[in-house]
Structure 1
Amino acid sequence: MRRFYILLPFFLLLHISTTINVCAQGTYNLKGTIRDNSGPIFGASVQVVEINKNTITDSEGRFEITNVAKGTYTLLLQHMGYKQLKTTVTASGQTKEAVFILEEDHTQLSEVQVNGRTETQQAKLQPIKVEVINTKAIQEQPSTLVELMNRSAGIRIRQTGGLGSNAGLMMNGFQDRAIKNFKDGIPMDYLGAGYNISLVPVNMLERVEVYKGVLPTGLGADALGGAVNMVTKKSLYRYAEASYEFASFNTHRASVNALYSDTTRHFFIGTDAFVNRSDNDYKVDVIVTDQETAARSPATVRLFHNKFANYYAEAYGGLTNLKWVDELRLGITWFHINRQNQYGSTMSQPFGASVSRQYSVIPTLRYRKQFGKLGIDQFLTTSNIHTAQVDTLRGTYDWYGHFIPSPSRRGEISMRGSLSDITFSYFTSRTHLGYQIGERHLAEINVVSTNIGRKGSDPLGLTLPETGQDILSLPAKYYKIIGAAGIQSVFLNDKLINNLIAKFFHYNTSTINVDIYGTALGQHRTTSENSFGIAEALKFALTANTFFRVSAEAATRLPEQDEMFGDGNFHRSNFLLKPEKSTNVNLGFRTERSGAYALEVNSFYRITRDLILKVPIDFLYTQNQNVENVKGLGFETDLSVTLNRWLRANGNFTYQDFRIFDTGNRLKEKARLRNTPYFFANLALNSTWNNIGGRGKLNLYYYYTFVREYYLDYVPQSLEPDGFLGLWGKAKFDAPNIIPNQGLHAAGFTYNPAGERFSIGFQAKNILNAHVYDNFRIQNAGRSLHLKLNYTLK
């Protein structure tokens, strides 16, 4: 059965290839080039009026609208500073690529209204709720993707330290792996830790789509709380871009993107690469133990063994726009991570010698083709990700960096020590099929299968009690398949859009059982489960810019392999994890007036069984454990306003009240979900000034973020603040597990001295040097200064 699931995408591909001649008839593509008297126009809006399809032109002024039925249509062509052009075209087998000339309109430069929508604008209008983060708009700022997402409504990224530390996404009450990560619609598990939201430069991305609740059929993952889809930059024919950032704590971040296409647009090659490096030697407040008296006292120290370095490079090439393929892309990815371990899951104990690393070389293949009404998108990858941890110090360090020898120890993290070397093998296949049923219905099928194995060695690690055999030498296997089938329908002259999605989940694992403290029990454990889910998402438009959204879902989330196997570092295995199941309901409203304001309000309700939550254990390690019953509701609002020609403002806040129930424990009953913020808010001001020094442009900005105090562990409801919804006042106890109120200020500017090609960006973060506590109450950096240079050649 497993072999059948793995080979299913290949059978589908073979079957579709035999039906090309049948399916390639009946629909056509509209192609053209838009120019003015001096050359092609980039970014012009193209709309097919009768069927409301939109696109924009590329850097050569070209556009293509696919899957158009035979007939005569009206094209509406527009661009800022040009007169609107309406023209008639015919879609047929003899359709040729036309050239359209736009005339400049000098009288209406400040009032041209563009009706066509970009992909970013279209994503915001789908029936499935998605928060679209436009990275192109801020790529010149020295801001990280983590910071951008934290400024969005309903989203918090929690990190366990500085640059390169583990980052977990929290959204609408769900955390970490309950929210899936994708790169261009493909689950990112195969990339390990080499490509994630804390490392990827914003320069690499076109936008980030954050889905809340129900996922589109095309993503088709086992997510409860939603998903993050990082959309890489689209082809601009030929371009090269480089950026370099220097910041406090000896932080360096650099990126290079380049793409080349031949003049026929049938062949392309490109590369994406980035480097992240930091000493992360910022100051923190800790409890220091005196070695002679054992007295414990607070102190402020500088981290001394916290360096991080990450290198990533991807080379790709392929073919496009041929009869048998729209895109065939072959890629090869390499990454390497070196990390010094300063502390474990909490800051209770310092380390001064332990290091870990991860590296891999990963090939990928992607094939996409539209055969008339039928489209296929097939992705394949296989990889071996190598992880290692070295912990062989015979002694320990204190927070001042002093070494304390202890010959009886074999490691500073544990008495046993570690020389682990683990290989995780991945094979991932993702197949997506879409079929257009008339003009109003689109049917989709998406199948993702993942086969993962773990094998390694650790001469200092755990062994079987009977034979003394290294447990890492025994293979651990994990397999899962997620199938989704959906149909999107449009009714009432495009006012009503409905998505109905059904899902199937299967997984099985096989390994040696280990208890909560990492002790090998010597029991071979096999787990297998099948489950089904269903989701419905509906959007009703009152006007072109005002609509309601509602969605509901009965979802299942399977345990991930790293949650069950551990990561070979500070995350413990737990082979007793059960899948988490949830019923989710979302309701939202959005309205906007172009160039004036945009308002969005959303609410959500969740009830979850066996929620998988990452918790600290033994002060050094983390482990995923099931929380039997969790329910709650929340709401969020986001408002953007254009105050005048040069000043824009944005503000949002999120409140969520998630509590455990039916615990059988009077003190824990109805307690807030541990280690989970329940109120946070953001404010942003942006000002743009043109014609600085002739051709220059200056952008000034200010950001403020507030997070209400929350609790590292469960706290009785009777001890929470008395203020309205707990939003003010103090908790009725004083303990280290309170994560206090946090207010962070940041400000900066970007300057383009002559056009868009070169920019200088500066930002001061945490201006008031406030204490910043994040996931598991780990302290993050204080005030820091960042300078970024960006150069683009198109």
Structure 2
Amino acid sequence: MKIITGLLFTIICLLSAGSMAQNKVTLSGKVTDQHGTPVAQATIAVENTTSGTYTDDQGKYSLQVAPGKHTFVVSFLGYQTVKQSLDIRQNKKQNFTLQESAVTLNSVEVYGKTQTQKVKEGAFAVNALDIKPIVNSLNNLNDLVNRTTGIKVREEGGVGSDFDLSINGMSGNSIRYFLDGIPLDTKGSGVSLANLPVNIIDRIEIYKGVVPASLGTDALGGAINIITKQEKKNYLDVSYGIGSFHTHKADLNAQFVEPRTGLIIKPTFGVNYSKNDYMMRDVEVWDEDSRKYILTDRRRFHDDYFSLFGQMEIGFANKSWADAFFVSGSYSKVDKELQTGSVQSKVYGMAERGSDAWNISARYQKHNFIWKNMQLNAALSHTWDHSLTTDTAYRKYDWNGDYIVSSRNEITGRGRSMRHYKRPLTIGRANLDYRLDNHHSFNLNYLLSRIGNDRYDEVETDFEASNDILAKHVVGFSYNQSLLEEKMSNTFFVKNYINHLNIRQTDLSSITGSKDVKGSITKKYWGYGIGSRYTAIEPLSIKISYEHSVRLPLARELLGNGTTIYANVALKPESSDNINLGIFGTWHPAPGHTLYYEANGFLRYVDDYIQATVETKEGMLQYENVPAVHIKGIEGEVRYDWQSKLQLATNVSFQEARDQNRYKTDGKPSATYNNRVPNRPWLFGSTEASYLFHNVVLPESKLRLGCSYQWVHWFFLTWEAYGSRESKARIPAQHICNADITYSWKRGRYNISLECSNLLDKLAYDNYKLQKPGRAFFAKFRLFIN
């Protein structure tokens, strides 16, 4: 890997050395209509180029161009396009006025770049998803992310079930989640992509394999950064949805700006509930007539889910002393009845899990901090997170809902238990970004994460209470270049990981290894990487990136979760060498037609790969290290847009993860050497289409019809080397069709959507061959007052 790293570094340096920095000037100003009202989201672009920008909520814009004469095109739907030639030799202010047009524009010939598009065209392998166009019909982020290239979300059941998300073959805890650059864990362990209110989100950035040092994380397989709305205006956004299996969902997001002081108040609220009483097919039950077990269909009977999230954020923006300063407090709560373990043949009827978390945090942002062109982003957060698993019934249930009295509890097969886990979490982040000029910038990021593990049991007297500590410091430094008139961009970075553990638990030492790993341990690890993007011609760009990354085990991997996961305190950190190589481009074959494509290949060489294994008898999970796993794959995506009305997209992903451990610990050959890692989809794809109609029935209305199809090739549930091929457990191929319809009127103030998931009612399995719901409907009403 050092040879590959050196070669990539040499190529990029040679290309960079041959380029000369080009000075640029800035054109800035304001766009208003004929009445002087600011026009937000208007496009200002340089004609016959892809250089452009959008106005903010005050109609202001800023655009950097090379010195010289340019023709600028200013446009916005419903207004007449303005073209103006300017000879710019130095920074210049220029305002534009747009006149309302009686005729709706059929197409816009100038194509500016949204923030989402800019992220996708950076040096890293990244998916960027814009939420705004689909927020009316979107129910949770898992549904959207699962349709993107190289990503697979595998849920263990219905609403609120645990899920496993993989990026390019790396999954589970190898992926880190962020909310505006801050770990999502700060909102509580119960908050996830599945229940975070979608109304607060602007876009999602999904980094594959190589993660920017500015995020300050120890992710191995990638990271998901959720960017929330940062508009500086008053609005109220509320929605309510109802669906199959007694599902209800309500979200509220609002912002109020006090005009005299500029005080901003942002309340957020989200609630989800579902009984998840969908039909389980071909489950085993006892038949009294035949006196034997038979396969039949039964409804889930103990799977209620409830989640609540509330947050209040108060602060200021655009002040002389701060670009943004906010303090916030939040509360989250999750109550979940447990229906099965990690295998659906083990049925629970009374076991429950609940969690609640309080959080206080503050964030500060300032341009020209200490020096000109230096920006500081800082945040401090503390979370009180508490979970309780109740398992006090000495019963053994079946899918009829019947039970027999047992001498053991439901989950672990031991004594009655009410297991408490208190995991206080402290997060501190400081990010300094310094722009030397238009072509060179530096970034320094520091992240502190400290989590406790105070565990005790109020029923099981033999349980040994303990208070473990996991703390990590991640420091990242990066240098960024923009060369050849922005045709080439490079990023070089290095990361330092400091991991501190204080393990105090000793119970179940034969399973958890707690007696062998006890006390205080501190270790350091290094990571580094590079990324480069070069645009040969506008429809063809090439990007390559490499990272040697380290991922430190999470609390749930080391210490379990008190319900379905055993601790393994002997887990070692994962390390990986990740390589991405891709091509992409945007082509405009004719006015109103846009074609975007991308194709990527990737390699992952992972040591001490952390993998969840299931103990079939008890249905319990435990994480363990696999000495070496190699992952390789290729993926591609094509998107077509016609006049922002017709949109088509398709993608396919192939990813192969194989065990590279030739010998077992006793020196004997390993039967699983070069086997595909089990319980991992390796070939899948999706296709989606939508069409937007304007002024249907009512003026200023929109009707959107959409459909999607997702396919997953079958894969083995366990190692393919064990047992005969015919008798091995498989997760069968998945074929899922979804359809939705959305109607909006009064310029998006009122919105109604109806979605049907699994339209053909196909039998769908997922993680560990746990059944997912069949055909389901969901209706949603959204009110947006701007």
d(CA) in 2 for partners of 1:642, 1:605:
31
Aligned match for 1:350, one of 347, 352, 356:
347
Per-residue Cα deviation, 1:467-491 (whole angstroms, up to 9, x for no partner): xxx423x210111011110011011
Give 1:711 deviation, angstroms: 1.4
2:424: which partner in 1?
A: 425
Give 1:403 deviation, angstroms: 3.0
The 10-residue stretch of structure 1 (495-504 or 451-460) with the greater mean CA deviation from structure 2: 451-460
Residues 558-637 of structure 1: pairs in structure 2 closer than 5 A: 558-594=552-588, 595-617=593-615, 618-637=617-636
Q: Which amino acid aligns with 1:605?
A: L
The question of 1:690 aligning with 2:683 is answered: no
2:715: which partner in 1?
A: 710
Per-residue Cα deviation, 1:170-196 (whole angstroms, up to 9, x for no partner): 011101111110101112222233321
Number of residue equivalences: 745
d(CA) in 1 for partners of 2:229, 2:551:
30
1:217: which partner in 2?
A: 213
Q: Which amino acid aligns with 2:250?
A: A
Q: Which amino acid aligns with 2:688?
A: A
Distance 1:92 1:782, change over 3 A: same
d(CA) in 2 for partners of 1:162, 1:675:
19
- TM-score when normalising by structure 1: 0.88
Q: Which amino acid aligns with 2:295?
A: P
1:127: which partner in 2?
A: 123
d(CA) in 2 for partners of 1:69, 1:184:
32
Q: Is the CA contact 1:447–1:483 (under 8 Å) kept in the aligned structure 2?
A: yes
Q: Is the CA contact 1:79–1:114 (under 8 Å) kept in the aligned structure 2?
A: no
Distance 1:579 1:331, change over 3 A: same
Q: Which amino acid aligns with 1:283?
A: M
Distance 1:545 1:325, change over 3 A: farther
Q: Which amino acid aligns with 1:486?
A: S
Give 1:262 deviation, angstroms: 3.1
d(CA) in 1 for partners of 2:556, 2:573:
14
Q: Which amino acid aligns with 1:282?
A: Y
Q: Is the CA contact 2:73–2:81 (under 8 Å) kept in the aligned structure 1?
A: no
Q: Is the CA contact 2:71–2:83 (under 8 Å) kept in the aligned structure 1?
A: no
d(CA) in 1 for partners of 2:411, 2:480:
57
The question of 1:750 aligning with 2:742 is answered: yes
Aligned match for 1:365, one of 362, 365, 368:
362
Per-residue Cα deviation, 1:709-733 (whole angstroms, up to 9, x for no partner): 01111103997xxxxxxxxxxxx41
Give 1:259 deviation, angstroms: 0.5
Give 1:124 deviation, angstroms: 1.4
Aligned match for 2:678, one of 674, 677, 681:
674
The 10-residue stretch of structure 1 (439-448 or 416-425) with the greater mean CA deviation from structure 2: 416-425
Secondary structure of 2:214's aligned partner:
coil
d(CA) in 2 for partners of 1:179, 1:75:
42
Give 1:543 deviation, angstroms: 2.4
2:446: which partner in 1?
A: 447
Distance 1:500 1:641, change over 3 A: same
Residues 715-726 of structure 1: pairs in structure 2 closer than 5 A: 715-716=720-721
1:316: which partner in 2?
A: 313
1:725: which partner in 2?
A: none
d(CA) in 2 for partners of 1:73, 1:302:
67
Q: Is the CA contact 2:391–2:416 (under 8 Å) kept in the aligned structure 1?
A: yes
d(CA) in 2 for partners of 1:289, 1:197:
35
2:522: which partner in 1?
A: 528
Distance 1:548 1:380, change over 3 A: same
- TM-score when normalising by structure 2: 0.89
The question of 1:271 aligning with 2:267 is answered: yes
Q: Which amino acid aligns with 1:672?
A: R
Secondary structure of 2:433's aligned partner:
strand
Distance 1:520 1:557, change over 3 A: closer
Consecutive unaligned residues of structure 2, counting only runs of 5 or more, are 1-24, 664-668
Q: Is the CA contact 1:30–1:68 (under 8 Å) kept in the aligned structure 2?
A: no
The question of 1:475 aligning with 2:467 is answered: yes
Give 1:689 deviation, angstroms: 1.5
Give 1:289 deviation, angstroms: 5.4
1:3: which partner in 2?
A: none
Per-residue Cα deviation, 1:539-580 (whole angstroms, up to 9, x for no partner): 000223421111111111111122111222222211111011
Q: Is the CA contact 2:31–2:42 (under 8 Å) kept in the aligned structure 1?
A: no
Distance 1:258 1:638, change over 3 A: same
Q: Is the CA contact 1:334–1:359 (under 8 Å) kept in the aligned structure 2?
A: yes
Secondary structure of 1:584's aligned partner:
strand
d(CA) in 2 for partners of 1:114, 1:151:
29
Q: Which amino acid aligns with 1:117?
A: K
1:34: which partner in 2?
A: 32
d(CA) in 2 for partners of 1:171, 1:294:
47
Per-residue Cα deviation, 1:650-707 (whole angstroms, up to 9, x for no partner): 1110001110023324531111011110000101111122221142321111110000
1:327: which partner in 2?
A: 324
Aligned match for 1:100, one of 96, 101, 109:
96
Q: Which amino acid aligns with 1:671?
A: N
Q: Which amino acid aligns with 1:701?
A: G
2:779: which partner in 1?
A: 787
Per-residue Cα deviation, 1:244-279 (whole angstroms, up to 9, x for no partner): 110000000110010012336832111111111000
Secondary structure of 2:565's aligned partner:
coil
2:19: which partner in 1?
A: none
2:488: which partner in 1?
A: 496
d(CA) in 1 for partners of 2:656, 2:537:
33
d(CA) in 2 for partners of 1:30, 1:256:
35
Task: Output the aligned Cα RMSD.
Answer: 3.1
d(CA) in 1 for partners of 2:53, 2:265:
24
Q: Which amino acid aligns with 1:82?
A: Q
Q: Which amino acid aligns with 1:576?
A: A
Q: Is the CA contact 1:58–1:236 (under 8 Å) kept in the aligned structure 2?
A: no
Q: Is the CA contact 1:613–1:624 (under 8 Å) kept in the aligned structure 2?
A: yes
Distance 1:523 1:702, change over 3 A: closer
Distance 1:694 1:189, change over 3 A: closer
The 10-residue stretch of structure 1 (376-385 or 79-88) with the greater mean CA deviation from structure 2: 79-88
Distance 1:650 1:607, change over 3 A: same
Residues 75-224 of structure 1: pairs in structure 2 closer than 5 A: 77-80=74-77, 81-86=79-84, 100-104=96-100, 109-224=105-220
Aligned match for 2:297, one of 292, 296, 300:
300
Give 1:29 deviation, angstroms: 10
Q: Which amino acid aligns with 1:623?
A: Q
Q: Is the CA contact 2:138–2:198 (under 8 Å) kept in the aligned structure 1?
A: no
Q: Which amino acid aligns with 1:698?
A: L
d(CA) in 1 for partners of 2:513, 2:214:
41
The 10-residue stretch of structure 1 (108-117 or 442-451) with the greater mean CA deviation from structure 2: 108-117
The 10-residue stretch of structure 1 (517-526 or 270-279) with the greater mean CA deviation from structure 2: 517-526
Residues 642-681 of structure 1: pairs in structure 2 closer than 5 A: 642=641, 646-664=645-663, 665-681=669-685
Q: Is the CA contact 1:142–1:762 (under 8 Å) kept in the aligned structure 2?
A: no
Give 1:769 deviation, angstroms: 1.0
Residues 40-51 of structure 1: pairs in structure 2 closer than 5 A: 40-46=38-44
1:723: which partner in 2?
A: none
1:235: which partner in 2?
A: 231
Q: Is the CA contact 1:287–1:296 (under 8 Å) kept in the aligned structure 2?
A: no
d(CA) in 1 for partners of 2:477, 2:48:
29
Task: Using the aligned pairs only, state the percent identity.
Answer: 26
Q: Which amino acid aligns with 1:123?
A: V
Aligned match for 2:533, one of 530, 539, 549:
539
Per-residue Cα deviation, 1:202-232 (whole angstroms, up to 9, x for no partner): 3221111111121122212111211111111
Q: Which amino acid aligns with 2:182?
A: I
d(CA) in 1 for partners of 2:269, 2:70:
43
Consecutive unaligned residues of structure 1, counting only runs of 5 or more, are 1-26, 464-469, 720-731
Secondary structure of 1:146's aligned partner:
helix
Q: Which amino acid aligns with 2:145?
A: M
Q: Is the CA contact 1:643–1:649 (under 8 Å) kept in the aligned structure 2?
A: no
The 10-residue stretch of structure 1 (391-400 or 174-183) with the greater mean CA deviation from structure 2: 391-400
Per-residue Cα deviation, 1:259-303 (whole angstroms, up to 9, x for no partner): 012336832111111111000011113543549999543222110
Give 1:439 deviation, angstroms: 1.6
